[in-house]
Amino acid sequence: MTVYFSEDHEWINVEGNTGTVGITDYAQNALGDIVFVELPGSGEEFAKGDEVAVVESVKAASEIYSPVSGEITAVNEELEDNASLVNTSPDGDGWFFKINIADESELEELMNASDYKAFIAGLE
């Protein structure tokens, strides 16, 4: 398992050719209390950078982008009834979707954990 991060504050946990995608603790903290999540459908295909999902918080709505190209293989249906999982467990139970990675070379364009930590430190 390897975790990568995007500049849009998504994380992707890669196992084989499948990635589990969510938003970072930094992102959920900036959004505030999340009240609604709109997820993609299984079988939908997206290119890297495409808008895949939407989160709505008490502060704002925000798009979730795909960190890689591929086909959605599963979505976290728990979020439909309990969107606050994104706040309480952003890097665990609050995941958004699983994607079959079409081009593993796209992972090279993402950040590792230490690079992401330096990236968000530069934003503050």
pLDDT tens readout for residues 25-80: 999 999 999 999 999 999 999 999 999 999 999 988 999 999 999 999 999 999 99
Helix (H, G, I), strand (E, B) or coil at 7: coil
- Structural domain boundaries, residue 70: 2-101
d(CA 65, CA 57): 17
Is 111 part of a structural domain of the chain? no
Distance in angstroms (rounded) separating the CA atoms of residues 60 and 58: 6
- Structural domains counted in the chain: 1
**Pair 34, 86: CB distance under 8 Å:** yes
Task: Output the pTM of the full model.
Answer: 0.95
Domain at 7, CATH number: 2.40.50.100
Which strands make up the sheet holding 97-101, listed edge to edge?
A: 2-5, 10-15, 18-23, 97-101, 70-75, 45-46
What's the pLDDT tens digit per position in 97-111?
Answer: 999 999 999 999 999
